């Protein structure tokens, strides 16, 4: 039943073990507890600065971290279970590549974010950043979902995490852009990188698997678990690494209102564009989230609640229309088979978010921000640059992100095109049984999953 070429018995274990051994060696060589996690340094610093244990960064970031963590593993994982026979792979490969990426991202981001005496210092903030970078990889995963092997995905993650860290470094450190919720660094980058990879991996014969590229009733409900979790925790996502105090508070609130407005837009346009006024689950599952993407950059700024709502409404609108009108064109004209429609959820809303961020930054005044200016726009606050120039920085950052994503995706796509990773044939895409032992449906008992029963059937001492 399993084609030799897709048997991963040697390739998947080898890849996982080699990657993990490399990670462990690099961690042993390069990574240390930071001053909030190291027993000795924390206690030295507490004494020196007359602080208490209650001021440990843990208490001000960890709840946000856990919300982000849920988005990465439950949110993305279950959002992609909408396919009828790809639930194991959706949530399972999501799990695998996320578990790898967060380790690799710790190293790559640590390397670019600044070493301390040759060492990478880690704590809850680096954990959030690693999860963010992982999110970008999972966005790209959405574009190639159902058409790739886990070995291919792990390799994509190796490259994408690296390019993500480079792009992030250029934007935040070299260019001095602001992008707390990652409209550019996470969403735009992840989406366009993934779309180019999908383009390079174009399968003209994919229609042979088209009967599996659809949902069933229950799979859509599983996917809604993912959607709702992403929706609920997006305020935590956008605010997870903004400055403490009003910044985190405001970012969370802006995101909350943007998402609420986005949801109404999504329902409105989903019903409007269908031929008989019925709602489409694909829109609800995805476009309702675009409001979170679109305030990823401007959320920490003084966007105002109604400004957030306008942005969210626009994001929901373009995302829903994108699913209806643009995705078919991307497939037929540009040969981009975007399984989850990441262009509509992350691509366009990400670009919108970058533009909104640039405009909002350019309009910043001391009048509005007061002393808070130094948290949101430190260079404007210090008088180094004008607010308008901050806006220019943001715009340049968008262009840089698109450039690195497109070029990076092109190169990585060709690497992933090599016929050595056990990718599924065109006829067996969107199908779990290629890489998973799949139990029968209810009422049939083809395969047993628990060990003791298997034992009864096939005694190992035979």
Site for a second copy in 210-249 (CB under 8 A): 210-211, 213-218, 220-222, 224-225, 228-229, 231-233, 236, 243-249
Is residue 9 a contact residue for a second copy (CB under 8 A)? Answer: yes
Residue 44 in contact with a second copy, rule: CB under 8 A: yes
**In this chain, which of 187, 324, 346, 393 binds a second copy, going by CB under 8 A?**
324
Take residue 371 and report the two structure tokens written for it: 């002393």
Among 47, 48, 118, 419, binds a second copy (CB under 8 A): 47
Q: Is residue 378 close enough to count as binding a second copy by CB under 8 A?
A: no
Instruction: Classify residue 390 as exposed, middle or buried by CB count within 10 Å of its CB (0-12, 13-18, 19+).
Output: buried
Residue numbers 52-111 binding a second copy by CB under 8 A: 52-60, 62-63, 66-67, 69-70, 73-74, 77-78, 81-82, 84-85, 87-88, 91-92, 95-96, 99-100, 102-103
**291 vs 158, 265, 274, 307, 344, CA distance in Å?**
29, 10, 22, 12, 12
Does position 373 bind a second copy by CB under 8 A? Answer: yes
Any contact of residue 46 with a second copy (CB under 8 A)? yes
**How far out from the chain centre does Cα 113 lie?**
20
| Window 250-309: residues binding a second copy (CB under 8 A) | 250, 252-253, 256-257, 259-261, 263-265, 267-269, 271-272, 274, 276-282, 284, 288, 302, 304-306, 309
User: Which secondary structure element, helix H or strand E, spans residue 292, and what is its range?
Assistant: helix 290-294
- Least distance (Å) between residue 70 CB and a second copy: 6
Give me the sign of the Cα torsion angle 23, 26, 28, 32.
negative
The SS3 of residue 244 is coil
Which position among 114, 370, 388, 407 is part of the footprint of a second copy (CB under 8 A)? Answer: 370
Of the candidate spans 27-35, 174-182, 354-362, 391-399, the one that interacts with a second copy by CB under 8 A turns out to be 27-35
Q: Kindly state the smallest distance separating residue 400's Cβ from a second copy, in Å.
A: 27
Positions in 326-345 near a second copy (CB under 8 A) = 327-329, 331-332, 337-339, 341
**Shortest Å, Cβ 237 to a second copy:** 11
- Judged by DSSP in three states, 395 sits in helix
In the numeric block, the tokens 């006024």 are attached to 277
The residues near 285 (Cβ < 8 Å, ≥ 6 apart) are 79, 82, 220, 223, 224, 226, 227
Q: How many residues bind a second copy (CB under 8 A)?
A: 172
- Give, as ranges, the residues between 398 and 437 that touch a second copy (CB under 8 A): 435-437
Site for a second copy in 111-170 (CB under 8 A): 122-124, 127, 150
Which string of b and e fits 158-182 if b means at least 16 CB within 10 Å? bbbbbbbbebbbbbbeeebbbbbbb
DSSP 323-369: IIIIHHHHHHTT----TT-HIIIIIHHHHHHHHHHHHHHHT--HHHH
Find where tokens 């029968």 sit: 440
């Amino acid at each position: 039943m399993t084609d030799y070429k897709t048997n991963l018995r040697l390739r998947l274990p080898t890849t996982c073990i080699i990657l993990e051994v490399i990670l462990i060696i690099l961690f042993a060589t390069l990574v240390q507890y930071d001053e909030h996690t190291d027993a000795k340094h924390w206690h030295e610093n507490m004494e020196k600065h007359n602080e208490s244990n209650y001021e440990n960064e843990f208490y001000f970031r960890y709840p946000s971290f856990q919300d982000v963590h849920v988005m990465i593993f439950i949110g993305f994982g279950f959002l992609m279970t909408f396919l009828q026979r790809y639930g194991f792979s959706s949530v399972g490969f999501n799990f695998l590549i996320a578990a790898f990426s967060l380790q690799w991202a710790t190293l790559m981001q640590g390397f670019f974010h600044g070493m301390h005496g040759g060492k990478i210092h880690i704590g809850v903030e680096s954990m959030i950043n690693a999860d963010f970078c992982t999110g970008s990889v999972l966005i790209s995963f959405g574009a190639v979902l159902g058409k790739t092997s886990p070995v291919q995905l792990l390799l994509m993650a190796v490259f994408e995490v690296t390019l993500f860290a480079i792009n992030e470094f250029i934007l935040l450190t070299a260019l001095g852009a602001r992008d707390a919720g990652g409209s550019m660094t996470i969403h735009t980058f992840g989406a366009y990188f993934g779309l180019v990879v999908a383009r390079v991996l174009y399968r003209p014969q994919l229609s042979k698997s088209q009967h599996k590229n659809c949902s069933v009733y229950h799979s859509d409900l599983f996917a809604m678990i993912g959607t709702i979790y992403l929706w609920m925790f997006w305020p935590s996502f956008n605010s997870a690494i903004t400055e403490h105090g009003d910044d985190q508070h405001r970012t969370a609130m802006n995101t909350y209102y943007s998402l609420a407005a986005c949801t109404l837009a999504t329902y409105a346009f989903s019903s409007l564009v269908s031929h008989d006024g019925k709602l489409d689950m694909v829109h609800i599952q995805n476009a309702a989230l675009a409001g979170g993407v679109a305030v990823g950059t401007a959320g920490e700024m003084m966007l105002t609640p109604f400004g957030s709502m306008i942005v969210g409404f626009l994001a929901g609108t373009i995302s829903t229309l994108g699913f209806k009108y643009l995705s078919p064109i991307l497939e037929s004209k540009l040969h981009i088979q975007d399984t989850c429609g990441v262009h509509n959820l992350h691509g366009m809303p990400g670009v919108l978010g970058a533009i909104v961020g640039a405009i909002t930054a350019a309009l910043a005044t001391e009048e509005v921000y007061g002393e808070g200016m130094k948290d949101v726009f430190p260079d404007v606050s210090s008088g180094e640059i004008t607010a308008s120039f901050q806006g220019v920085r943001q715009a340049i950052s968008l262009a840089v992100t698109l450039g690195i994503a497109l070029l990076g995706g092109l190169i990585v796509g060709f690497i992933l095109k090599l016929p050595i990773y056990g990718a599924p044939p065109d006829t067996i895409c969107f199908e779990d049984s290629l890489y998973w032992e799949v139990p029968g449906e209810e009422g049939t008992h083809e395969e047993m999953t628990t060990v003791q029963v298997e034992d009864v059937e096939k005694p190992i001492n035979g």
